[in-house]
Structure 1
Amino acid sequence: MSAVTASATHAGPLRVLLQNRVVTLSIVVLGIFAIAAIFAPYLTPYQPNGLSMRERLLPPSSEHWAGTDELGRDIFTRLIYAGRVSLAVGLGVAALASVFGVVLGILAGFFSRLDPAISRLLDAMMAFPDVLLAIALLAAFGGSLLNLIIALAIVFTPRIARVVRASSLVVRELTYVEAARALGVSTPRILFHHVFRNITSPIIVQATFIFAAAMLSEAGLSFLGIGIDPSMPTWGVMISAGRQYIDTAGWLILFPGLAITICVVALQLTGDGLRDALDPRIRKSI
């Protein structure tokens, strides 16, 4: 019994992560979405914007696995091409928000004089609903895929910044940081080697949740016709275009809605698994 307990206590994060079957399944699902997005041109003979008015509003069949839309475009083809946009937006937003959030969070947490100003800025940003702030930023920047990524990254930056600030406040008081200061180690070296490297776990977990939230926000904004060119296939655009045919061609909304739901839930479950695997206290109890 003691040997089993010891092995569980010293299990690495990857081993703990893979022991969770739900998380493993979520990672597999995300891998399938990513592979489909990367190899989209090789998975279907159709073009995402290829029109065929003779085949409009066809139900799912062996020829068109998910049916066709009001312009005769193959929905399965548009689904996997739309996955490219959604995954690119989610990844770009998570990466940019992590960079912005880490910089602001470490500055606020490590330098006491900067903390009040940065904390008030973060509080002011979080006072606005995410969608409204994103719409305001897109109105200022202009609608494009890049501007959408930047706007959503700004919207989600406070989420990571607050986590990083809280972690930095704890780390800066630890003994090894005080020892580094006493030895004359430069501040940038302390920030990178002693602070940042010891708070990467909560950053990774939070970035995973932001990835999912960004994909959901992109779908919502695309549904409203904001941010991305409507001619570009996205899951939100597909749902927006298909809502007027919901009574006669429900598959126009069903399949993109399922794609969003499955991908976002898989990301959330993966984030929960990462949190459990990277937290030593939780890992010992597994």
Structure 2
Amino acid sequence: MAAATFSDEPGLFRSLTARPAVLAALVVFGLILVAALLAPWISPADPARMSVRARLSPPFGGAYLLGADAFGRDVLSRLLFAGRVSLSIGLGVAVVSTALGILIGLAAGFFRRLDAPLSRLIDAMMAFPDILLAIALVAILGGSILNVILALSIVYTPRIARIVRAATLVIRELPFVEAARALGSSNLSIMAWHVLPNIVSPVTVQATFIFAYAMLAEAGLSFLGVGVDPSIPTWGTMVNEGRQYLDQALYLILFPGIAISLAVLSLQLIGDGLRDALDPRLAKDV
């Protein structure tokens, strides 16, 4: 069974860009990523600088392109710096949950003795609604960036683990794995060199979705007041702060809301494109 990795897909980028929706998503997310990375150099002002005179200044009409918040802070600058934090949280959750999910899924799928208890653990965790479990974990751990990443990683790890387990159950019975076992390869070697390369594609696609889910979940936690410390700008905290002035300054939640929507939607479209491009059964439709 050949591993469906990026190196085996010379036309992957061409397949992705052949779909207008996926190409647009790549462009949009690329612009968001570049803007967040270059925030210290392209932001027009210090995101923490306050000005009483500029309080709730409307957008497009003065010194503040996207207006100012209730403390007179530049919304555009805060939006750019908040993007760095929100994207970092999403990426951190995707990386940690993927690593943990691969370990748990490989153990459950490869070792028969561990399958039952680990599968029950995965099912039990997935029985809880994501946001409720995240709220409980953040309440226990505390509201910091690292704790939010850890809490959301725990929430989304079962998604990866279940996919990896299902794939491993199939791969471990295939002839090339039996041949490797007959040649004396250790279980660790078989998992590393024969099983893991063959689950790269589905795991990559699911990690892309988790990236989007984590950003949306962080915004939800911040909106409920249990996310990242309010002193740290994220798109979620900006929406939470702006809801108090909904009738006076709609733009305070409009702009971060648009940023969240564009980032999440573009990641979802990219994930769909990757799934179609990496799945041989769907490649003909791309």
TM-score, length-normalised on structure 2? 0.94
Q: Is the 8 A contact 1:147 1:227 kept in 2?
A: no
The offset of 1:11, in angstroms, is 6.8
Partner of 2:57: 58
Provide the secondary structure at the position in 2 that maps to 1:118: helix
Spell out, residue by residue over 1:136-193, the C-alpha distance to the aligned partner (whole angstroms, 9 max, x if none): 1122222211011011000000000000011111111111011111111111110011
Q: How does 1:212-227 map to 2 (within 5 A)?
A: 212-227=212-227
Partner of 2:42: 43
Query: 2: distance between equivalents of 1:111 and 1:11?
Result: 34
Partner of 1:6: none
Amino acid at match of 2:128: F
Partner of 1:272: 272
Spell out, residue by residue over 1:231-280, the C-alpha distance to the aligned partner (whole angstroms, 9 max, x if none): 11111111111112111211111101101101100000000000001111
Partner of 2:3: none
The more displaced of 239-248 and 196-205 is 239-248
Q: How does 1:1-286 map to 2 (within 5 A)?
A: 12-61=11-60, 63-286=63-286
The more displaced of 109-118 and 56-65 is 56-65
Query: 1: distance between equivalents of 2:105 and 2:229?
Result: 34
Query: 2: distance between equivalents of 1:140 and 1:251?
Result: 33
Partner of 1:7: none
The more displaced of 117-126 and 18-27 is 18-27
Q: Is the 8 A contact 1:208 1:268 kept in 2?
A: yes
Spell out, residue by residue over 1:34-65, the C-alpha distance to the aligned partner (whole angstroms, 9 max, x if none): 11111101112311111001011111125312
Partner of 2:4: none
Q: 1:285 to 1:54 in 2, by over 3 A?
A: closer
Query: 2: distance between equivalents of 1:221 and 1:14?
Result: 35
Amino acid at match of 2:249: A
Amino acid at match of 1:19: A
Spell out, residue by residue over 1:92-143, the C-alpha distance to the aligned partner (whole angstroms, 9 max, x if none): 0000000000000011111111000000001111111111111211222222
Q: Structure 2: where are the runs of 5+ without partners?
A: 1-8
Provide the secondary structure at the position in 1 that maps to 2:284: helix
Number of positions where the alignment pairs a residue of Structure 1 with one of Structure 2? 277
Amino acid at match of 1:263: A
The more displaced of 247-256 and 199-208 is 247-256
Provide the secondary structure at the position in 1 that maps to 2:240: helix
The more displaced of 128-137 and 268-277 is 128-137
Amino acid at match of 1:270: I
Q: Is the 8 A contact 2:139 2:226 kept in 1?
A: no
Spell out, residue by residue over 1:198-250, the C-alpha distance to the aligned partner (whole angstroms, 9 max, x if none): 11000000000000000000001111121311011111111111112111211
Q: 1:44 to 1:11 in 2, by over 3 A?
A: closer
Q: Is the 8 A contact 2:43 2:80 kept in 1?
A: no
Q: Is the 8 A contact 2:55 2:70 kept in 1?
A: yes
Query: 2: distance between equivalents of 1:198 and 1:69?
Result: 50
Provide the secondary structure at the position in 2 that maps to 1:55: coil
Provide the secondary structure at the position in 1 that maps to 2:112: coil
Query: 2: distance between equivalents of 1:44 and 1:268?
Result: 27
TM-score, length-normalised on structure 1? 0.94
Q: Structure 1: where are the runs of 5+ without partners?
A: 1-9
Partner of 1:4: none
Query: 1: distance between equivalents of 2:282 and 2:119?
Result: 29
The offset of 1:14, in angstroms, is 2.3
Q: Is the 8 A contact 1:143 1:227 kept in 2?
A: yes
